[in-house]
Amino acid sequence: MFKIITIPFDRGKKGFDEEILTRFVINKRISSHRAEFFQDEDDAFWTVFLEYDPLLEKTGDKETLSLNEPQKLLCERLKAWRKETAEKNGVPVFIVTTNRELADVTRIAPVSLEALKQIKGFGKGKIEKYGREIIAMVSAFYSEK
């Protein structure tokens, strides 16, 4: 992967704000880089080309890798439901369910609350709050013709 970052000269600080670059590279392994200084009339810039590999993989990508196409579609529908539910309740999405939990629901396709209890992360409280909706979505998905 690669990224090009242009950093303008900050006249107030009389320097370049390297924080922009620092924030970007903090979770990446830089395999190559090239920096070029240039001026545009009275403005000065550094442009940095970075070739990198991420150190951290996105959890959602890793969790859904083994899903087939219909399962990925179901997982996306569950994620949309989770986002809407989290916004309605004023909580982060991971409080409703994690990506791993949704991937497990998608793989197992539980059709009862008892089956949902077998999935790691679904305790009494989560099942009481969201269990019926999740089961209904899974059942409806597999009954679509």
Distance of CA 2 to the CA centre of its chain: 19
Q: What CATH number is attached to the domain comprising 116?
A: 1.10.150.80
Looking at the 3D structure of the chain, how many domains does it have?
A: 2
Record the pTM: 0.56
Domain extent, residue 135, equals 59-143
In contact, 127 and 119? CB cutoff 8 Å = no
Q: Which of 54, 69, 84 is the last residue of a domain?
A: 54
pLDDT value at 145 more than 50? no
Q: What is the pLDDT of residues 21-63, one digit of tens each?
A: 888 888 888 999 999 999 999 999 999 999 988 775 554 556 7
Instruction: Look at residues 38, 54, 70 and tell me which one is the last residue of a structural domain.
Output: 54
Do 7 and 48 share a domain, yes or no?
Answer: yes
Helical packing angle, 99-108 and 69-89, nearest 10°: 130
Are 39 and 80 part of one and the same domain?
no
Tokens representing 89 are: 């309740």
* pLDDT score, position 20: 86
